[in-house]
Amino acid sequence: MLLIIAVIGFGCSNDDSEPNPNTNFNSSDYLYFVSGKLNGDDFIYGQRIDDTTFNYQIISNIPLESATCSFSADQGLDYKLSYGSSIYPGFENEDSQPLIGINFIRFYRCSDTESSTDVFNSLFPVDDYDYAVDDNDGGTMGQIGIEYAPIANGDNYYESYGTIASSNTFKITDSQENNSFLLGDLVTQSQLIEGEFSVTLFNNDDSSDVIEITEGRFKIIVTK
């Protein structure tokens, strides 16, 4: 995967005696975020529009489209491309803060007659989505994967692939074109996506070690 980095802000803590800023907030106050309850504890990682510090950044997972699709065609396969967006701490904080990523698994088919550029902004419609068993290039189209690490560069890493909990949910509630142009020419193709989710995540090294995220919300930018 290629990685593209953009700045993102920091998560907030809450005081139980006041309205909880982690659950009672307007998404329009944020450029992007992921929030919810992690094993019952509130969290939010994101950048408010009025933030002046940058403790988090967005890292976009961009597929190597030309190489992947050329190999798929040469081998007579039916590969699909996946896209993703992770909220990652500033590099100076990656040994103390978490990361969380949302991956859109197999959302474009290499054999499609229309190019990915032509259809990218229509690939993420408002709808309910199933979770993916794996993130391979071949498999069921249009599924979701979520990843989480308590410490971004630590050894513990959790993901939704493998066993899919029956309580898992994922819904895109809004999807808007977010392309950038220079002198009328397309520079960056991206989509601003909002939604809700719940998920059970399993430790890569110990499947009995699980994390539950409930009441999840997100507003992220996915880039081609």
Please state, in angstroms and rounded to a whole number, the distance separating the CA atoms of residues 122 and 39: 34
For the chain, strand residue ranges (E) read 2-8, 30-38, 41-48, 56-62, 80-89, 99-109, 127-128, 143-149, 158-159, 169-177, 180-182, 185-188, 190-203, 206-223
Question: How high is the pLDDT of residue 20?
Answer: 54
Question: How high is the pLDDT of residue 84?
Answer: 95
Question: How high is the pLDDT of residue 15?
Answer: 44
DSSP conformation letters of 65-127: HHHHHHHHHHTT---EEEEEEEEEE-GGGTTTS-EEEEEEEEEEETT-SS-HHHHGGGSS-SE
The pLDDT tens digits along the chain (224 residues) read 444 444 444 444 444 444 455 567 888 889 899 999 999 999 999 888 888 887 788 999 899 999 999 999 999 999 999 999 999 888 888 999 999 999 999 999 999 999 999 999 999 999 999 999 999 999 999 999 999 999 999 999 999 999 888 899 999 999 999 999 999 899 999 999 999 999 999 999 999 999 999 999 999 999 99
Token pair 């939604």: residue? 195
Tokens of 12: 């907030």
Question: How high is the pLDDT of residue 1?
Answer: 42
User: Cβ(113)–Cβ(119) under 8 Å?
Assistant: no
pTM: 0.87
